Amino acid sequence: MTIGIGLEAYLDAWAGTDSGRTAVASALLALAEAGLELAEIVGGGDLVTNQAAIVGDNAGGDAQKALDVRSHEVVVAALKRTSAVAMVASEEADDTETLNEGGLVVVATDPLDGSSNIDTNISIGTIFSILPMTETGNPFLVPGRNQLAGGYVVYGPHLDLAFTLGEGTHVFTYDRGAGAFRMVAENVTIAPTTREYAINASNYRHWSEGIRAWVDDCLAGADGPLGTDYNMRWVGSLVADTSRILSRGGVFLYPGDSRKGYAKGRLRILYEANPIAMMIEQAGGTASNGRQPILDIEVTELHQRTGLVFGAAEEVARIERYEANPAGSGSSPLFGNRGLFRT
């Protein structure tokens, strides 16, 4: 058990003398430093800057807020300070940026996740994916399976850094007294079944038949084909919804829908879905676009979107079955309470 160990000591022991691992550890420490700096800024709210003010648009077409831009600058500056990181790709930049010639890894980041919550004093965060630098081609345009690490910092009631290095998912909390991140959960596990889901239900009319059928059956609760009452939670910050699922289970859905520009949902594969999917898989859960594992999807564009369903493995599998065959789902009059998918 290494509960209580400081982040640096943990990473030192993990990296040993391996140069590839040392580069990943350096990138992670730089991201932790950026997280600390941003925690101070976020914690100051509008005393620090008019954080929720709209200042432009990003490559994905979302309004860019002052804190989005500041977070991008802080994360990129921290990564630049370590020679390990060759390039960065960010939600807030159209193109990749070269940071250090000879760096062994590259970092993709959503520097500020949950922008719509900035001025509501609800948890927001920073998401990151660490990939190997390649000799040829674009090192970011590879399936998420190639990731060396994935993680996030969440600026919530406490400051957490959660990540996977490909061997389990671990959570560190910032110990303000000690001035260090210390491990609070090692090898987190997500239960395969759940009765709690997270989805922005206002998009109901835009969803596919399968997602609507599954939500209908959750809402029918103990009286419906799933035979159990479900609870619903939706923070509106992917990092905070992920943090809850790592801590007490559940499933999250942001599926593609029929709104213009939402055919592949809202979330971006490179710096949102992939790192979260790696953490979730490493915690025993699964992450899917409704048809295939997120980590197997070809990445062809930096700001590519994907439908995202992740968390409790059996519930994710059930949602995939509803997507594949909504007519055969528990809510179909043909199947009723004896639905094929009743559990």
Ligand X SMILES: O=P(O)(O)OC[C@H]1O[C@](O)(COP(=O)(O)O)[C@@H](O)[C@@H]1O
The span from the CA of 246 to the CA of 303, in Å, is: 26
Of 152-160, 219-227, 235-243, 328-336, which part binds ligand X (CB under 6 A)?
A: 235-243
CA 8 to chain centre: 23
Residue-by-residue DSSP string for 167-212: S-EEEEEEETTTTEEEEEESS----S--SEEE--GGGGGGS-HHHH
Question: Among Mg ion, ligand X, none, what does residue 282 contact (CB within 5–8 Å per kind)?
Answer: none
Residue 100 contacts ligand X per CB under 6 A? no
301 noted as active-site residue: no
Structure tokens at 205: 């009319």
Q: Is 110 annotated as a binding residue?
A: yes
Eight-state DSSP code of residue 273:
I
The span from the CA of 324 to the CA of 47, in Å, is: 50
Q: Please, which residue, 114 or 224, has the CB nearer to ligand X?
A: 114
Mask for 263-282, x = binds ligand X (CB under 6 A): ---x----------------
Q: Please, which residue, 113 or 216, has the CB nearer to Mg ion?
A: 113
Q: Mark 108-139 as b/e (b = at least 16 C-beta within 10 Å).
A: bbbbbbbbebbeeeebbbbbbbbbbbeeeeeb
Residue selected from 35, 103, 114, 275 as contacting ligand X according to rule CB under 6 A: 114
Q: Which residues from 119-158 bind ligand X, rule CB under 6 A?
A: none
The span from the CA of 222 to the CA of 193, in Å, is: 16
Catalytic residue among 8, 62, 186, 209: 62
272 noted as active-site residue: yes
Q: Which residues from 73-112 bind Mg ion, rule CB under 5 A?
A: 91, 110, 112
Q: Please, which residue, 192 or 236, has the CB nearer to ligand X?
A: 236
Catalytic residue among 7, 67, 91, 320: 91
The span from the CA of 71 to the CA of 128, in Å, is: 13
Q: Please, which residue, 215 or 220, has the CB nearer to ligand X?
A: 215
167 noted as active-site residue: no
**Which residues are CB-contacts of 212 (< 8 A; sequence separation ≥ 6)?**
204, 326
Residue 200 contacts ligand X per CB under 6 A? yes
Q: Is 257 annotated as a binding residue?
A: no
Residue labelled with tokens 């061997």: 167
91 noted as active-site residue: yes
Task: Give contact residues for Mg ion (rule: CB under 5 A).
Answer: 91, 110, 112-113
Question: Which residue numbers belong to the known binding site for Mg(2+)?
Answer: 91, 110, 112-113, 272
